[in-house]
Structure 1
């Protein structure tokens, strides 16, 4: 049977048990070491260490020198290579953890932005609804103009009523006295 390339292989059992490590603890340790390796104090102390090493093995007592200059300071080179070989993976582990944190932060920022956009769109729709509703509401100036028109109509009607009443009064005044008071003429017999 042919193996499928789109699926991972089944894990093989090993004769040797794998040591279980806390990934988070290892990550925190690698970050703390990587942080220290990236500080000026690390460079300072490494420089002091190398200077002391070179001075001791160049001008120190002949019998106490442990890394000969004639051999090119082989032990120092080996120690610095060992330090670099451990520093590189620790720095990469720290960068991977930082990338994971950045990815989570970017996802949270994206979700927050989506919520803000949805809230903004909702508020824009609500504002549009309020504007439409306010377009149908009578404003103070509109109510004042309507009241003025009503007052003018009432004043006109009052004037017409007063004029009609005045005409009626004048008509009564012109009528003979007996008709004014509602008296009838007595028939003369």
Structure 2
């Protein structure tokens, strides 16, 4: 699925396995590298969100670090994405180890971090503020009752307080698309309609 700013594609989200958060098993890490190498539209600043589960990130830390270093000359930004559900579970068991793993990925790989499945609860907000991922994915449906102006204010305040850029998910209609602030990132099934509209303009 594409990641967009306005009507311009600026990245991709890559899924592995049957579930979005499944990372490839050990023998498939080479396939991950192959996928990275052959992503279309690569260019400076292009974002590639890689869904990874936390246990695999921990177990394959050394090999993933090596993979990222091999890919560092490729002109795009590979973002490691974790679900907030996993972050909560790991935080409750060993907050120090979780912080170490995230810092290793962020500074040694190096890779920006994204938390997906973030809701607008105090618990989620506190975790985001504590770990300051580079990106957080929030469903546009969480803010469906707000005006576009109010959503834009929310994005600015959220980013100032957490240092995390908001990526809106589940953008499925023109009405939801119009509520996404002009400079914010988004993804969702509205992509299909947008591509048809863009083709019709050619």
Q: Calculate the TM-score normalised by the size of structure 1.
A: 0.21
Higher share of residues assigned helix: 1
Q: Calculate the TM-score normalised by the size of structure 2.
A: 0.20
